Structure 1
């Protein structure tokens, strides 16, 4: 059994759900056009939104297959940090409970990706 099986499984499911659902619902288009474009990323907001969702989608598959875990983790941590800066910071810490749409979930995911990076038994290439 590979190291961090449950962590990899959870991250893969979270990344799949975060990408696949918004792709099929069309929310990725709305996020690009109605949010990213309006905060200064126009005319590239739609492309950035799709890039993020596709990175999440392929990251889930690569994490699950135990390939390129370190670069995938770095890319996702960068996305999560940008999410904190542009979206979640203004809402405080809590995702639910003491507030809404805060940074706590992003911080947890960043820590999970850090665990994958600094676990010396996982390679950055193939297994």
Structure 2
């Protein structure tokens, strides 16, 4: 018998907190800094027409909802799956033409999205 705390889940706790923080900051910053009009215009130019701005709002809000579900460990599956789908779409619509690197060896590449998708998949698997 040991008096030490069970540390087996500390790694997943850290992953949950960091992933939720990233999703929250990304979502809220996009909503507060008027990034939605530019994002909405981009989506309109990609064939979403008048749905561009509402879709931009849905995407940013979905990040915040996913973060809350990850932290509370409630209703995790659908918000996380939606976020994974959004990140995969982002890879194909934005990041893939820019290569691998986000910074350094390139700009705006796929590496960060792949890392977030992996983290979200691990969280989904752990629920």
Q: Which has the higher contact order (CA 8 A, sep 6+)?
A: 1
- 1:74 is matched with 81
After the TM superposition, which residues 20-31 of structure 1 pair with which residues of structure 2 at under 5 Å, given as runs?
A: 20-31=28-39
Q: Which residue of 1 aligns with 2:71?
A: 64
- Aligned partner of 2:44 in structure 1 is 37
- The CA distance in 1 between the partners of 2:8 and 2:43, in whole Å, is 38
Corresponding residue SS for 1:18: helix
Give the paired residue count. 119
2:116 paired residue number:
109
How far apart are the structure 1 equivalents of 2:49 and 2:59? Answer: 16
Question: Which SS does the other structure have where 1:68 is aligned?
Answer: coil
Shift of residue 2, structure 1, vs aligned partner: 9.3
Give the Cα separation in 1 of the matches to 2:8 and 2:120: 16
Q: Which has more helix, going by share of residues?
A: 2
Distance, in Å, in 2 between the alignment partners of 1:92 and 1:100 is 8
Single out whichever of 68-77 and 42-51 deviates more from structure 2: 68-77
Gaps of 5+ in 1: 123-127
Q: TM-score under structure 1 normalisation? A: 0.88
Query: Gaps (5+ residues) in structure 2?
Result: 1-6
Partner of 1:12: 20
Report the aligned-residue RMSD: 1.5
Per-residue deviation at 1:62? Answer: 1.3
Shift of 1:71: 2.0
> Secondary structure, in 3 states, of the residue corresponding to 1:20?
helix
